[in-house]
Amino acid sequence: MIRTRVLRQWRWRWIVALASAPVLVASVVVGIAYGKGGWYAVNVMLRRGANVWGDVSPDDHRLSRGIRLSLAGQRTPDAPEPVRWHQVATGLEVAELPVRVGGQSVDALLLSRIDTARYRFRVLNRPAGDRDVGDWMKATGASLVVNGSYYGRHGTPDTPVVSDGHRLGPASYQATHGAFVVGGPGGQGGARLVDLAGLDWRQAIGGTSQAMVSYPMLLGADGHGRAGGTDERWLANRSFLGQDGAGRIIVGTTRDAYFSLPSLAAFLPRTGLDLRLALNLDGGPVACQKVSAGGYRRDFCGRYELAVHGGRLQLLWPLVDFRRSALPMALVAVPR
């Protein structure tokens, strides 16, 4: 009888131990994630799914046709067709520009054109990493949301930022590319892009209500891009900001990952968008653009990022694909 009772006790202890093991493991993993990246890392892991780099070959089936063509050296698209804008609300137009190589569709530019007199912009940061592109739209009442500039492992800005009048990001920073700014000294000036070549970024964002430094400059004030020296095999979904001859802000996001940064910089002047300046934002799975206005809906987030690490071609892919990527940095356009 005593032996039977002892066996039963040990059996229950094993059951309890086995049942508790996943909780213990999860707690340890959460603790490690928090130690490395705070709540941003925890939210990414538990709510968004983690991403890992994995080796691929240039003809891997997981790569899109556009990526494979670009890796094969076919980096000059056909002459683009005219952009056909559609007004979805006063001051907000949308278009989709196909990108073809040898007549084959390899990518597309998802475009939005915004009248700065009709929309106000906000540069926003949420280090917790608990908002995706849709969450930002709900929280701000925006008609357009696009991912912002780069951020660190804790979800905080990696570049100088002004959000609703508050300075964020590093105080010491070397910037030679560009910035998006709203306002200026004395509250003068609307939303615009600034080429930082030969200009101190502190002067460019000083007195602004919203600002965001980013890189590289895809089209500078001299009519040339400054993406040279970037590995042509770094391919990703990309987002960018442009300013046209009428002062309107153009938001662009690529549907695929055909473009390297140098090839995108070379393509933009050919698009007929009348761009005077163009600035790259963050890319890869965080390259997101959502538009909701006048019955029109666009809801897109990137899928691809490919790079060379230690001489190996690697693709970023979701280890566990729960939801869209969090956007610690976002740029929103709200109707005035």
Q: How confident is the model at residue 325 (pLDDT cuts 50, 70, 90)?
A: confident
Strand partners, 101: 104
Residue 214's nearest CA partner among 188, 185, 194, 191 is 194
- 210/60 Cα distance (integer angstroms): 42
* Three state DSSP letters for the chain: CHHHHHHHHHHHHHHHHHHHHHHHHHHHHHHHHHHHHHHHHHHHHHHHCCEEEEECCCCCCCCCHHHHHHHCCCCCCCCCCCCCCEEEECCEEEEEEEEEECCEEEEEEEEEEECCCCEEEEEEECCCCCCCHHHHHHHHCCCEEEECCCECCCCCECCCEEECCEEECCCCCCCCCEEEEEECHHHCCCEEEEECCCCCHHHHHCCEEEEEEECCEEECCCCCCCCCCCCCCCEECEEEEEEECCCCEEEEEECCCCCCHHHHHHHHHHCCCCEEEEEEEEEHHHCEEEEEECCEEEEEECCCEEEEECCEEEEEEECCCCCCCCCCEEEEEEEC
Per-residue pLDDT tens digits for 251-290: 999 999 999 999 999 999 999 999 999 999 999 999 999 9
* pLDDT > 60? residue 187: no
Three-state DSSP at 325 gives: coil
Per-residue pLDDT tens digits for 114-134: 999 999 999 999 999 999 999
User: What's the pLDDT score for residue 184?
Assistant: 79
User: What's the pLDDT score for residue 46?
Assistant: 61
The per-residue pLDDT of the chain, averaged, comes to 89
User: What's the pLDDT score for residue 324?
Assistant: 81
- Over pLDDT 90: what percentage of the chain? 79
* pLDDT > 70? residue 42: no
Name the residue ranges covered by the structural domains of the chain.
Answer: 2-48, 53-335
User: What's the pLDDT score for residue 328?
Assistant: 96
Q: What is the mean pLDDT of residues 312-318?
A: 93
* pLDDT > 90? residue 43: no
Q: How confident is the model at residue 7 (pLDDT cuts 50, 70, 90)?
A: low
* pLDDT > 80? residue 24: no
Do residues 178 and 140 lie in contact, with contact meaning Cβ atoms separated by under 8 Å? no
* pLDDT > 50? residue 29: no
* pLDDT > 60? residue 146: yes
* pLDDT > 80? residue 190: yes
* pLDDT > 50? residue 26: no
User: What's the pLDDT score for residue 15?
Assistant: 67
* pLDDT > 90? residue 94: yes
pLDDT top residue among 222 and 49: 222
Q: What is the mean pLDDT of residues 7-32?
A: 55
Per-residue pLDDT tens digits for 57-82: 999 999 999 999 999 999 999 999 99
User: What's the pLDDT score for residue 3?
Assistant: 61
pLDDT top residue among 217 and 318: 217
Q: What is the mean pLDDT of residues 178-203?
A: 88
